[in-house]
Structure 1
Amino acid sequence: MTNWADSAPAADMAPWEGGWYRTAQRLASPNHGPRPVQTSQVDLIVVHSISLPPGEYGGGAVQQLFTNTLDWDAHPYYQGIRGLQVSAHFFIERTGVLWQFVDCDLRAWHAGQSFYRGRSQCNDDSIGIELEGLEGLHFESAQYETLARVCQDIALRYPIEHIAGHEHIAPGRKLDPGPGFDWPRLQGALDWPAQRFPLNTRADPLQLR
């Protein structure tokens, strides 16, 4: 089995138990698979947003969707996604609570048809993080704090070179996390080189101080 952390920076791996993040609430999803053998490294984080039903928070429907236990008849909106099988590695509630559904060494089903940094099929070499929210609206401070922490710890284990939104890897098809997401805020919290972020989201480093 390939160890996707082989080429990660040498660092304390204490936050990790294999590809599972120790401080996340673990709820295993059946919606995953192995990463292709030709995948050389996991170097991309993809940020998404989701709420079920749209604009409603805290009801547990996202967790149910990712574990194939959602009651499709519980809300009219669900008829349009009936039978959908998807997942993400992580999900961050409005309160900042972090869930993990898929071992980060495995391929979650979050990106769909996608292309970024010269490569297609971004599920193959990325880690997907869903924020509870509605595209176009703001996100909570607790979510930014959790997102920054988990991104920093992901970069301890995996050689992360890029972070992007679903909208950047599937333009025209996806809009999340949308204009309500504060990319400069995340850039400032992570203190990563601007080149790791999508071109139209980068802030002047002097403005982040």
Structure 2
Amino acid sequence: MSLQGTHWQDGWWSAARRVDSPNHGPRPEGTEVTLALIHSISLPPGSYGGDSIERLFTNTLDWDAHPYFQQIRGLEVSSHFVVRRDGELLQFVPTARRAWHAGRSAWRGRENCNDYSIGIELEGLEGERFEPSQYERLAELLHALARQHPLRDVAGHEHVAPGRKLDPGAGFEWVRLQSLTEWPDRYFPKGVLASR
């Protein structure tokens, strides 16, 4: 895959459309970013397109625009990146900053995943399938991130918050992602590549 012509500046990747979120903070001093954390999101659930995700991450969502939004009223969250169904890439938080995406979480015995991870949301519904263009863009993004940070793990929200979160869910094809990245099996959660 070609990343030619793209560049990083102050933690922002030129291949993504920049949408600044206020929902972020500093990482703990000296913390390396080693985990790419995959989520899924659609607002309202199962509805694609529109600007509801952008509005949620920028604290401008009209809570009265849909009945579901009452369940998340006042929520202040973000991720570093969102990959839309058509492969469009949005970035909300620079990678050196701590986005608010994982919540209570732990990976390989280490708690507080927000401290050392990059949050990547795929537009989709947990358990359902994602589009080929999303996998392609995600693989490109992971390669670009690996040039900026010492990534050595890729996991889903369901792996770092088991029992609390289910995304990206059974519809996410870990084998496809591993094939596109050509990264070693050890980068991925145990068991997700078993269907090869």
Structures share fold, TM-score greater than 0.5: yes
Q: Secondary structure at the match of 1:129?
A: strand
- The residue that corresponds to 2:28 in the other structure is 36
Q: How far apart in 1 are the matches of 2:117 and 2:5?
A: 19
Q: Secondary structure at the match of 2:191?
A: helix
Q: How far apart in 2 are the matches of 1:24 and 1:13?
A: 12
AA partner of residue 14 (structure 2): R
Q: Do the aligned partners of 2:21 and 2:92 also contact (CA within 8 Å) in 1?
A: yes
Instruction: Say yes or no: does 1:149 pair with 2:140.
Output: yes
Give the TM-score normalised by structure 2.
0.95
AA partner of residue 69 (structure 1): T
Q: How far apart in 2 are the matches of 1:43 and 1:154?
A: 10
Q: Secondary structure at the match of 2:147?
A: helix
Q: Which runs of 5+ in 2 are unaligned?
A: none
- Could you give the per-residue CA deviations for residues 77-110 of structure 1, whole angstroms, max 9, x where no partner exists? 0001000000000001000000000000000000
Q: Secondary structure at the match of 1:111?
A: coil
- The residue that corresponds to 1:22 in the other structure is 14
RMSD between superposed Cα atoms in Å: 1.4
Instruction: Say yes or no: does 1:67 pair with 2:52.
Output: no
- The residue that corresponds to 2:94 in the other structure is 103
Give the TM-score normalised by structure 1.
0.90
Where do residues 89-100 of structure 1 align in structure 2 (5 Å cutoff)? 89-100=80-91
Q: Secondary structure at the match of 1:128?
A: strand
Q: Which runs of 5+ in 1 are unaligned?
A: 1-11
1:38 CA drift (Å): 4.8
AA partner of residue 174 (structure 1): K
AA partner of residue 173 (structure 1): R
Q: How far apart in 1 are the matches of 2:7 and 2:183?
A: 20
Where has structure 1 moved over 6 Å in runs of 4 or more? Answer: none
- The residue that corresponds to 2:40 in the other structure is 49
Q: Percent identity?
A: 59
Q: How far apart in 2 are the matches of 1:14 and 1:91?
A: 18
AA partner of residue 91 (structure 2): Q
Aligned length: 193
Q: Secondary structure at the match of 1:65?
A: helix
CA 1:168/1:13 → structure 2, altered by over 3 Å: closer, same or farther?
A: farther
